[in-house]
Structures are given as structure tokens and as C-alpha cells.
Structure 1
């Protein structure tokens, strides 16, 4: 086999150009990745003719600058991830295809030490970068939503150290979030008479991994204290170990003061009833706000009701798992019969009958996501947690988790 034939079949995205940027050779893999034919690019100027990019001036083109540096230093130059769109052939409608690349440029010298040609080895990382940008956008939306709700939203690690506080905290207390997260910076906003109680409660519940709530006073930026109801829930792994805590603090100053004042006078009982109704309405508005927050959260979430596990609430991330399924009002087994053979219907029944939560980490689940009859293997981390009514009877199950399929694939690689 001819030497050039060996090169053409190298399973890498490799192209060879002269010092003046004309294309000498390219592998079949490169041609397939870029959607080009060999006869259309050989002998052409690499950046002006073979792969033009009208969005970037030629002299500022990062690929040109990297090649120039490799020629100048006679050393390999590595190009960080860049967006470099590829022109589409006319038969495909023309225009450009959005693409992201990583590349290296290796100069090859002759016996006299002069540059003979430059080897470019590229990696198409478009899907990875799009996924990363989509994830960043999702997280940005989540931060926006947590900043929009009236509660002070926070997370803590297993030791009780704050790891996140929404902007509402800074707006209310006047303490920057970064200062709050340093050491025990949050303590400076807590009323001295309540601080010991907070520490005591945290020392009690953190080792046990139990839900906790308490009322405490938090100082605002004007130096005045208001009462807040603080609640926190632990997120646990399959072994029952706490992974992190998620909590919120809701301003109950007005309701607390109102109830106290109205209860002091029997003559104001009718007014009390009216104000309680208003407080309930406010709480309902806040509940709906939190529900919208859940719908946009960067984790998949749903609520199943009754012993048949019928879908009552589904957020956007959950819909992305099963984009072709009609779920609301239907039983899990009705839309996902494949789950019974995999044992998940039995697990749901156990959670519903016993109240004992179930946590899975990186578990393999086969789903018919697109209603084609074909099962796709997913790797998911999630929790099944019972929901109780006012009589402390189980009436549903909450499902919350992450899609870790991509991470699982990277580990196998």
C-alpha cells in the first residue's frame, strides 16, 4: 500500500498544510468530519478557500495565529476550544454549521531546519461544548429563579458549612454572599439570643441527617431584626449518608406579629380570621412560586399519586428523559411497562407501603424513551421519597434525580 494511502486511512482528523497555508493532504476521517471532498480542498488556501470563516477577520483568525506561532517557535502549538463554523455544501442548503474544535499544530522541519509543512490534528468537540453551554444556561436559569423567589435559599455540606446562598440574602442582610460563605459569616446576621439555639439544633440534627425547622430572627441591612421560619432537608445516598442540605428561610414577621396582636383581643377575632386568610393566600402564592422553581430546576423531578403511581407533576428535566411520552394522569407501569421487569415498579410499591425512601446512584435503567419499542440504556442517580397527607398517611411518592449517563460513559472510556 502506498505511504499516502496509509496516511489517508489514519483514524484521526488530520490535515497537512504548507507554511503559506495551502492544503497538501487530509485523512478520510478529517474529510468525513468536515463534510469535504479531497479534490475540493487539495491545493487550496486552508483558511481563505478550503475553510473560509467570514465571521472572523483573516489576520485575527485563531487558527492562523496558532499556525503562525508554531512556525515561529518551531514547536507544537495547542489551540484551546474555539468556535469555527464550517461552510455547508450548496447541495445541503449552504450556510454554515456551528462547530467547536480543539486542535494542535505541529511543524515538520527538513534537514536544514526549515519548515516543510504543518500538521493539524483536530478534535470535533461540538456536542460536548453545546451540552456544556446548555448546562451552564440551565444553571443560570436556576440561579435566576432562586434569586427571584422571596425566600432566602441556601445549601450546606455534610458538616453544616454553607456552600450556596441566593442573592435575596445579600439584598436583605446587606452582607455580600461571598462574605456569608466565608467561615461562619452568616452568624453575624442572626440575633444573639437565637444563635445558640441555631447551633444547638444543627448539632443535634446534622449527625442524624434529619429534617429540621425553627424560627429565628435575622437582621436586615438597616439593623432591624425580623422573624423567619427556616427549614432544611438532607439529600442522601443509597446508604443513607447525607450528601448535602437544602433549605429556605421565609419571612414570618408580619404573620407572627399579627397573630400575637389579634390573639390578645377577643374583640378582634373576626379580623384575625380575615388576616389568617390573607396569610394563607400569601403562603399559597409562595408555594406556587416554589413549584415554578421546581419546574425549572436542573434535576428531573416528578410527583406520583396513589398506589398506581400516577403522574401528577412533572418538571422540564423529567420530560427530557421521556420526550415522546404522554405522562400526566397515567400510571408509571402504563407508560413504562419495561420498568416492572427491571424491578422498579416493585420498589415504588415498597416505598408507598413502607415509607422507606429508596436512593440509587449511577444505576443503569433501560427506557423506551421515544415510543419506538427500542430500549435505551441510561445511567441515573435518583431518590424515591414517600409523601404524607395531614393524617400522616402515604398518598404519593416524590422522584428527584440526575441523568449521569454522560459521566458514566466517560468513566468507561
Structure 2
């Protein structure tokens, strides 16, 4: 198909013009296959059009079997890929690339040739690369002239000086560029593989030029490149980070944050998440020393900060519990001493109450002090009297740590009293414990401790430690009510205690 262009009334066949050009051209697809060539290219490469059209470029032309061939191919491929990927024209000032031809005996031989090449990307309306146009100039004779370095050959002395100098400078510049490009790729690779998050922001609007995968993961893999930070990360408004960047750009002074809280939206439409960061904003200066951008580098330390806060809370809670436990032990000692003048009985009573406290601590430790179940506390405090003599009937009830400790002491006193004076002091005596929870919106625990089969219960002539402990724990510590009934059939204790957040401290 012919493409025509009109100029001043003259129609020009562009395909014919392309083929008639004395300069060698080859049209290459983005995956580096030959799409078209002109006659000058066929002549200079000793090629047949039908044999190379559609072929991979480096299968049709492989630079021969020499040791330098792979490097020659690499240079040309790298230039083509750079033009394709950057959408910018790329030049090879000097490249050695051998071309095959047939000798007098019909054998394939390779002739070393030197070329200067220009690779130009051809874009469609959407800016995508559809072809690469390679324009080559055979400068083999000029290179040979430079290598010989003698003006007495086929060229003049002036040609020798100019040609040699120009090619020498071109080769040096190309080598410098190749070295710089290698270093740049190495730096970019290190940049992209950095374990912490890294980004480069350009200009006073802090436009994202590049960022590594760790930064992408931090902000939820959003499309950032080419966007100002205020558009790319709008949720940062009001958190101070825009202002930090503005200050660094204006003053040229770096800004560092340690354990800084930032709220980020990791996924579209999701609520903001609290993230803690160690970071630094470093100014990037241009050749004149002016701030041109900002280098962002840091680490997500959320787990470290949260762990430290959790550890502090645990230490504070431990200190609080130790103080409370010591106060409880002190109270138990004082009250037990009042009820037992004899050191021997004091020691036995004091030790038994400490063991009750220890049992409840064991239960709470197993749950990491998140709480304990009511039934488990009852079983712990009554198991020494035989499970066949204790009937427990009620639903699971989770108790907070403070409530669990109070109930542990209460049930210990009730069981001890039953063993000394009540149902458990008789062979056929039993204890029935029933409980339930009423009003789920503001739950209240109702528990009944009933002794049967033992001696009649008689009101004490004086209030002992057990009675005082039960009443103090129920009314003061648990903000509940207790009713003790001393009946002919045995003691009956009715407890009513609010649970959860509704329970007063």
C-alpha cells in the first residue's frame, strides 16, 4: 500500500522515497523484528529483502562468530531498547558490527564494519511505540583512516586529523555514556531493591518521579508517577507532611521523623490506617546548588511502636496488679490475725487464703490476664472437697481479672466455712450452686450458694473475717449485693453482681 503526501500540489510516494534514499534504513517492530528495509540497507548489508523481512533483527544479523560479536550485538540491542522504552531517539556514535557476504568460492565470510547508528521511535496517536527506525552510516573507511593515523593514504592530512579526532571523541563520549548508563542502572537497581521505602519528588509541587516497591506497598500500590503528592496522597492533608516537604524545599534543610504517626488509606474506599514511620526528607540539589527535589527514605516501624506501647501497658498493668495483690495479702494477714490469736491457726488460715488467691492467679495467667470463667473458679476453690459433693449449674460467664480475683476469695471463704461448720462438715452434706445472667443489655449475674444435708446454720455471734471479706468484695469491689440466710437446712447465700462495663469499679 502506498502512502502519499502532498506538498505544493506534488504528490510524493513516501514508500518509494524511503526505498530510494541513499541512506540505509530499516524499520523494526517493538519486539525487534524486521518490518521493512530500503534498497540502500540491502546493498550495504548484502541482504535479500524476502529473506530478512519478518525475521528477528539479531537472527538476520548476528555480527559473526568473533569474540567481540556478543558485545557488538549487546550495544545495538541496548540502544534500540532504550529508544523504545524511553520514547526518545538514541545514538550510537561508533559500533563495530560484522556483515556477512560470499567469497569467490561461495563460502560465507564476515567482514568487520564500523557504523554510526541512530534509533528513532515512531509513535501512534496514543503515544505508544509502533516502530523503531534505524538509520546507519558506514564509517569503516574513516575508522581505518584513524587507525592507520597516516596522512599519506587516500585521504588528506586534514581529513586524517579531523576524522581521527572526531571519531576518537565520539568513541570516548560513547564509552563514557555507556559507563554512566551502567552505573545509573546499578543505582536504580539498588534503589528498587532497598528494604526501606524510597521515593524521589521533583520540584516545589513534589511530583513523584520514581518510587520503589516498598513505597508502593506502604501506600497501597497506587499510581503515583507524574503526580504531585497532594493529588497522589490526598489523605495526608492536615497531618503536616505537605508542610514538612515545603519547608525542606524552601530552606534546603533535611527533616527527620522518628516513630511518626501517619494515617494512610491502603485500599480505595477503606478507612484510614494508623502507620508509624521513621523517615527523612533530604533535599536534592542541581548543578547550581539550588534545591530541585526531595529524596524520601524511611522504614515502617508500626510493629515496633505498637509492641513498645503494648509492653509499656503490660508493665504498667503488672505494677498495678502487684500493688493490688500486695494490698490484698496485707488485708488478708491483718484480718486473719484478728480472727486467730493462736499463731498456729493463723498460719493455717493465712496460707489457705493465699492458696486461694494463687489458684485464681493461675487461671488468669493461662488467659494472659484477659479474664477467667466463673465455673472454673468455682471448681478450683471446691475441688478439694470432692466434686461429687458440689453441684454446679449455670451458663459460661466470663469474668474480668479483678472480678475473678474477688470471686475466688469469696468462694474460698464459703467453701472453708462449709467445711468447718456447714454442709461439708457432715458426711452426707452437699452444696448446690446455681447462677444465671439477666438483662443482656446491662448484664447482672445472679448466683445462689445453697448448703443441704448438714447441720442447721446459726448466725455468728460476731462477724468474722470470712463474713467481712464476702461483704466487702461483693459490695465494694464488685458493686453488688449479698444476702446471707442462716436456715435450718443450711446456709444460703444469694449474690447479685453487675458484669462488664456496667459494673462499677
TM-score of the pair, normalised by structure 1? 0.37
TM-score of the pair, normalised by structure 2? 0.31
Kindly name which structure, 1 or 2, has the bigger radius of gyration based on alpha carbons: 2
